[in-house]
Amino acid sequence: MSAFVLLMAVLAAGGGETPVDFDTQVIPVFTKAGCNTGACHGAAVGRGGFKLSLYGGDPAADYRAIVLELKGRRINLAQPDDSLLLLKSTESLEHGGGYLLPDEGAGANRLRRWIAAGAERVQKRRLVSFQVQPKRRVAERVGSIVRFKATARFNDGAVVDATPWTVFTPEDAAAIKIDPETAVATLLRRGRQIVVARYLDRVVPIEIITPLADTAVDLARQPRNNFIDDHVLDLLATLRLPVSPAASHAAFLRRLTLDLTGRLPSLAAQRAYAENTNSGKRQQLINRLLASEEFNEYWTFQLAKLLRIRSQPEDTQGALAYHRWLKRQVSAATPYDQFAREILLASGDTHKVGPANFYRTVGGARKQAEFASELFMGNRLRCANCHNHPLDRWTQDDYHGLAAMFAKLDRGRVIKINPRGKVTHPRTGAAAIPRIPGGEFLDPNQDGREAFATWLTDRNNPYFAKAIVNRLWKALLGRGLVEPTDDLRDTNPATHPALLAALADDFVEHRYDLRHTLRRITSSATYGRSAQALPQNAADDRYYSHALTRPLPAEVLADAISDLTGVAEQYGDQPLGARAVALFDPKIESESLDILGRCARLESCETADGAAGGLTRKLHLFNGPLLNRRIADSSGRLAKLLTAERTPEEIVDAFYRRALSRPPTSPEREFWNRTVAGAGGQKQQQELLEDFLWSLLTCRAFVTNH
Amino acid sequence: MNPKAAFPERCDGVARRDLLRIGGLTALGLGLGDLFRLQRTVAAENRSPGRKAKAKSCILIWLDGGPSHLETFDLKPDAPAEVRGPLGSIATKLPGVRISECLPKTAAMLDKLAIIRSMTSPLGEHNFGTHYLLTGYKPTPVLEYPTFGSVLAHVRSQSGALPPFIAVPNFRVGGGNMTGGGYLPSQTRPFSVGGDPAKPNFKVRDLDFYKGLDLTRLDRRRRFVNALDAFERAGENSPATDPDLARAFNMITSPQAKSAFHLSEEPQSVRRRYGGKSIGQCCLLARRLVERGVPFVTVNNRGWDTHNDLYTRLKEGFTGAKVGVGLIPSLDLALTGLITDLDERGMLDETLIVVMGEFGRTPKLNTAGGRDHWPRVFSVLLAGGGVPGGQIIGSSDAVGEGPLDRPVTPADLAATIYTLLGIDPKLELHTSDGRPARVAPYEAQALREIVG
């Protein structure tokens, strides 16, 4: 409150002496009152015939709209109080948006002074920096109060208390209440909350944490295998969340093997791991799996989803070449920066040059710009197609500048330079000038991809390394440090910002080696924690107090079903026995994969699963061929075990080990002995075992990684 | 020629992920010690709806992509040609009220219907608009809200073997990735029947036993899975049975539930009344479902995102058609067939019908002979379920650009729909981490013209 009163006093005292600057003093009045939001005059088509740029992103256009449009009726220099601008916002005249500026409030006074002084736009000064205090605060309890103070620094040397003109928006309005007049926040709920502060073209996130429990937790004795554990445990301690113990060796083996190879551990691998008494055996296992051919196959699949490798109508050759190229890169451990360069700079016949298919993945130069930025920068430029991004730094120049670079390509079967290609900048109506996002404009007559690739893969690029390590983290831990993984920006901060930065640095220092970061993460105690939640941390889905249980990707589950039943699935015209994760094209026909929810790769595959069809899938498991055909197949694993005259107990044991990487516990053994063993006839025995196998293939422990 | 290539169903490829920046739930907002108490509270949520329902069930005819108000229920015959568009208007049962020339049967029963012509929203993007219209809430980054059907599925006690929320033929609305259930448990999400009810071989798949299987074995399999899950979760405080598995089992083993999907049981005269297009047969299926006690059915009719050539798409169906078989004539048959059928069966008063999409279309035709997104004013139609018919509520201005009077927000509409269905708009539900959320936004006002 005091800052506000003080400023009012300053305004009142200094009124009339210093002229009001349109760009830095009038615009914030509109932003603060909400006039230039997307729901009001900031909409693409304005509102009620009056259009302002979104959050004042384009002061020149706003000036024109206010002073020149409508024959200047919005401004009355002789009688400032009769200006439409004031009459409407103070609701002296009927205003669809209601009463926004109190008659004698600071906002109305500022507008009045600006009009009285001639309603000019002289561009007196520019904002140099904008800071908010506190940037992060750990509050004690619900009901605690946090006062925000915003400071703006201008290039004329002025340092201004910008608090009254800053808009503070909590991401969750039910968790924090903020008085717009005083910028005092009251905490309503526990947890970690984000507040976004907006002033002129700047947006700053503020992190407020209220511990989740009243008493501290002791995490001092928790193992810290590497820097990851330090970051994770620090936040857990702040939040007062206790951690689950380490996963058993068997659980770790299953989790890691699925994550690195997309397969269940074989019986031999289980035996070898159980018998290994070396204290460094987890590390040995990680290294062995990272060096395996199965790793190459599975991570080719993971990256193929990211690149959205998919056949064109009537043309599978390109996708095939792309997939083969990708497999070679993964096998050869091509550094990720070099990998990105090869993709970005590719040209030629897409049937021969695999990475050139990058330019046939989406339609048109604008979509290419969106795809490239989501893929390699983890950033969404899309909003900046129509207006400057309201929550990020991206402008229309960035968006159309990147599109202009890609417009210089012919995107038929052969990717080649087309010097006349261009995109139209919607604001100027002229051809957009190629531009490095947030950086320099390029010679419109040159292929700008080289400059873009060099900028992107520079070790100081703020997006490139973070975008990929965040995705690797998600693949292993079940949730990105930033979610969604293609929306990295200041106003969507990571749960653990310092950890994300450290992982990115570590990745760059180790020559952009994907395996290095996968090793780093899987070596942490964080990765190795049990999925069994404690009562006190059961609701945690983002701070890693216990491992998250994740559904197996459709293709991995399909392969696991084939492996467990011993009956392969036919995928389109692929040879019988082909693994689902090795398919080069998601259009290869397979009802099973559709039911299990494979990604069609038409759009990003990074959304949460398509579990909308839970009931549909369960109906299919009951009555469809996916499980039924293979359980009862006379050449399947169950039939073979029966032919070999194994006892029901042995059969139950064998399937448990293959499916869950462990033998049945004694209560489980008792249960199955009671229900499936010793049944009457041979046929009845077989049916009981089929039903057991069906339930094993359907149960939660089998269809998830945990 | 591939019809999809000529008329893309959507103009943008933006998916639900744009709506949800954080994902499922907000940051943990509770003392974790309280969690289980709250979870129990949620499980035992006060599900007494609180008021007397006028409607027992609801059929939502969703015109996906955003139907043009200027070609359906809010024509501007006196406006300049670029606003008026290519379709003419006709008189209706209500004196002085005109609607599209493509809706003659609807015009003849306008005394049974209510049209809101002053719907208004700021959200002109498919995903955002769809979220707003189907939940009453503007999308936010922290929480995905549940759609009407999921709320109803959650609040009403389950009866019968059919799922409480069914999408015909599917729930690919607003970009296609919306689950429908929002923050509610996954079993409140809609069940998509799949296929096309207008095809002669239409069948919901996987309802019949796989060869060699029978009830005894399915029952045993279900018990085995429950046992396995219970062993795995020993020591955890979550329910052991998988609700989707239980529901699938109930559907498969109930002949009465399965017969709901057998459109061939309907006499040809009834099938014809709804029209032969997908929307018609979907509406017929919807009637069979509500008849069997399903509280909420969404009929999803796609293709209304008419950025180009709206004359062909909305009226003709194909270029040069003698009798229009486009989207609007097909809607006319389906809607009036449904209302007549429900009326004859004495079910109209207890079945609410809602016809809407995510927004309207631009007042001026564009150069491609289409109209683009326009949320600032559009129309919604309501019928049955206690809705007083013969009403035109609100109006748009002379060119259909903004509301002239009585602006109605999607939040108000949500409160109206909930009230008709006997759910207090102020009813508080809880997210899985215990955060309270009202079924309709705080500021929502049910329309007194409709709820009385």
User: In this complex, do A175 and B26 lie within 8 Å of one another by their Cβ atoms?
Assistant: yes
SS (H, E, C) A276-340: CCCCCHHHHHHHHHHCCHHHHHHHHHHHHHHHCCCCECCECHHHHHHHHHHHHHHHCCCCHHHHH
Which of B31, B171, B217 is the closest to A687 by Cβ?
B217
Give chain B positions within 8 Å (CB) of A692. Answer: 224
Q: Are A319 and A305 in contact (CB under 8 A)?
A: no
Give chain B positions within 8 Å (CB) of A174. Answer: 26, 29, 435-437
Asked if the model's pLDDT at residue A19 lies above 60, the reply is yes
User: In this complex, do B122 and A43 lie within 8 Å of one another by their Cβ atoms?
Assistant: yes
Check residue B168 and give its pLDDT.
96
- Amino acid letter at A504? A
Which of A190, A484, A699 is the closest to B228 by Cβ?
A699
Percent of chain A with pLDDT over 70: 96
* Candidates B224, B261, B374, B443, partner chain A, best to mutate (most A CBs within 10 A): B224
Q: Which residue has tokens 């009453």?
A: B136
Distances (CA, A) of B95 to A387, A638, B278: 46, 75, 32
State how far residue B422 is from chain A, nearest Cα, in angstroms.
26
Which of B30, B32, B242 is the closest to A537 by Cβ?
B32
Q: What is the set of domains in chain B, with CATH numbers?
A: 3-7+50-204+267-451 (3.40.720.10), 207-260 (no CATH)
Complete DSSP assignment for B273-290: HT-SSHHHHHHHHHHHHH
Q: Is A598 exposed, middle or buried (0-12, 13-18, 19+ CB in 10 A)?
A: buried
User: In this complex, do A484 and B17 lie within 8 Å of one another by their Cβ atoms?
Assistant: yes
**Distance between CA atoms of B347 and A312, rounded to whole angstroms?**
50
What is the mean pLDDT of the segment spanning A12-30? 76
Residue A161, beta-bridge partner list: A151
User: In this complex, do B229 and A700 lie within 8 Å of one another by their Cβ atoms?
Assistant: yes
**Is residue A4 very low, low, confident or very high in pLDDT (cuts 50, 70, 90)?**
very low
State how far residue B84 is from chain A, nearest Cα, in angstroms.
20
**ipTM rounded to 2 decimals:** 0.86
What is the average pLDDT value for chain A, to the nearest integer?
91
Spacing of C-alpha A425 from chain mean position: 28
User: In this complex, do A43 and B249 lie within 8 Å of one another by their Cβ atoms?
Assistant: no
Q: Could you tell me which residues come within 8 angstroms of residue B53 by beta carbon, excluding any fewer than 6 positions away?
A: B420, B421, B422, B423
State how far residue B234 is from chain A, nearest Cα, in angstroms.
10
Position with higher pLDDT, A272 vs B141 = A272
pTM of the model: 0.84
* Candidates B2, B16, B17, B233, partner chain A, best to mutate (most A CBs within 10 A): B17
Distance, first Cα to last Cα, chain B: 51
User: In this complex, do A212 and B433 lie within 8 Å of one another by their Cβ atoms?
Assistant: no
Give chain A positions within 8 Å (CB) of B252. Answer: 619, 622-623
State how far residue A65 is from chain B, nearest Cα, in angstroms.
21
A212 to chain B: closest CA residue: B31
User: In this complex, do A628 and B210 lie within 8 Å of one another by their Cβ atoms?
Assistant: yes
User: In this complex, do B17 and A691 lie within 8 Å of one another by their Cβ atoms?
Assistant: no
Give chain B positions within 8 Å (CB) of A191. Answer: 26-30
Distance, first Cα to last Cα, chain A: 51
**Distance between CA atoms of A59 and A25, rounded to whole angstroms?**
11
Identify which of B135, B110, B107, B109 has the alpha carbon closest to the alpha carbon of residue B121: B135
For chain B, which residues score pLDDT lower than 50? 1-50
Q: Return the structure tokens found at B350.
A: 């207890």
User: In this complex, do A175 and B24 lie within 8 Å of one another by their Cβ atoms?
Assistant: no
State how far residue B398 is from chain A, nearest Cα, in angstroms.
14
User: In this complex, do B433 and A536 lie within 8 Å of one another by their Cβ atoms?
Assistant: no
Give chain B positions within 8 Å (CB) of A632. Answer: 212
Query: For chain A, which residues make up each domain, given as ranges?
Result: 2-116, 127-210, 249-291, 333-456, 551-705
Q: Are B155 and B430 in contact (CB under 8 A)?
A: no
**Distance between CA atoms of A19 and A695, rounded to whole angstroms?**
77
**Is residue A613 very low, low, confident or very high in pLDDT (cuts 50, 70, 90)?**
low
Q: Are A642 and A689 in contact (CB under 8 A)?
A: yes
Q: Are A258 and A285 in contact (CB under 8 A)?
A: no
Give chain B positions within 8 Å (CB) of A175. Answer: 26-27, 29
User: In this complex, do B221 and A540 lie within 8 Å of one another by their Cβ atoms?
Assistant: no
Check residue B29 and give its pLDDT.
41
Check residue B10 and give its pLDDT.
43
User: In this complex, do B224 and A619 lie within 8 Å of one another by their Cβ atoms?
Assistant: no
* Candidates A36, A176, A212, A215, partner chain B, best to mutate (most B CBs within 10 A): A212
Which of A535, A614, A694 is the closest to B186 by Cβ?
A614
Asked if the model's pLDDT at residue A641 lies above 90, the reply is yes
User: In A526-580, at which residue ranges do the beta strands (DSSP E only) sit?
Assistant: 550-551
Distances (CA, A) of A84 to A16, A116, A460, B188: 22, 14, 49, 51
CATH code for the domain defined by A127-210: 2.60.40.1080
User: In this complex, do A695 and B21 lie within 8 Å of one another by their Cβ atoms?
Assistant: no
Q: Return the structure tokens found at B334.
A: 């389906």
Per-residue pLDDT of A492-511, as tens digits, reads 899 999 999 999 999 999 99
What is the mean pLDDT of the segment spanning A389-396? 77
User: In this complex, do A190 and B227 lie within 8 Å of one another by their Cβ atoms?
Assistant: no
Which of A479, A536, A622 is the closest to B248 by Cβ?
A622
Candidate from A164-173, A520-529, B162-171, B340-349 with smallest mean pLDDT: A164-173
Asked if the model's pLDDT at residue A457 lies above 70, the reply is yes
Give chain A positions within 8 Å (CB) of B124. Answer: 44
Asked if the model's pLDDT at residue A694 lies above 90, the reply is yes
Per-residue pLDDT of A329-375, as tens digits, reads 999 999 999 999 999 999 999 999 999 999 999 989 999 999 999 99
Tell me how many residue pairs between chain A and chain B have CB atoms under 8 A apart. 195
User: In this complex, do B177 and A617 lie within 8 Å of one another by their Cβ atoms?
Assistant: no
Give chain B positions within 8 Å (CB) of A241. Answer: 32
Give chain B positions within 8 Å (CB) of A483. Answer: 21-23
Residue A205, beta-bridge partner list: A196
Check residue B232 and give its pLDDT.
84
Q: Return the structure tokens found at A180.
A: 């717009």
Angle, CA of A608, A611 and A616, to the nearest 5°: 165
Residue A187: which H helix or E strand, with range?
strand A184-187
Q: Is A246 exposed, middle or buried (0-12, 13-18, 19+ CB in 10 A)?
A: middle
Report CA dihedral (A80, A86, A92, A98) to the nearest 10 degrees: 180
Check residue A612 and give its pLDDT.
39
Residue B300, beta-bridge partner list: B62
What is the mean pLDDT of the segment spanning A650-664? 97
Sign of CA dihedral B287, B290, B294, B299: positive
B244 to chain A: closest CA residue: A615
Query: Checking DSSP bridges between strand B436-438 and strand B428-430, what pairing results, if any?
Result: antiparallel
What is the mean pLDDT of the segment spanning A161-185? 92
State how far residue B343 is from chain A, nearest Cα, in angstroms.
32
B172 to chain A: closest CA residue: A612
Cis peptide before A102 (omega within 30 of 0): no
* Candidates A41, A695, A696, partner chain B, best to mutate (most B CBs within 10 A): A695
Q: Could you tell me which residues come within 8 angstroms of residue A50 by beta carbon, excluding any fewer than 6 positions away?
A: A41, A65, A69, A70, A74
State how far residue A176 is from chain B, nearest Cα, in angstroms.
11
**Distance between CA atoms of A695 and A188, rounded to whole angstroms?**
45
User: In A340-456, at which residue ranges do the beta strands (DSSP E only) sit?
Assistant: 348-349, 409-411, 414-417
Position with higher pLDDT, A517 vs A381 = A517
A687 to chain B: closest CA residue: B217
* Candidates A172, A235, A243, A685, partner chain B, best to mutate (most B CBs within 10 A): A172
State how far residue B189 is from chain A, nearest Cα, in angstroms.
7
Complete DSSP assignment for A481-500: SSSSTT--BTTB--SSHHHH
Per-residue pLDDT of A43-102, as tens digits, reads 766 777 898 988 888 899 999 999 988 888 898 988 998 898 988 888 888 887 788 888
Which of B142, B194, B232 is the closest to A701 by Cβ?
B232
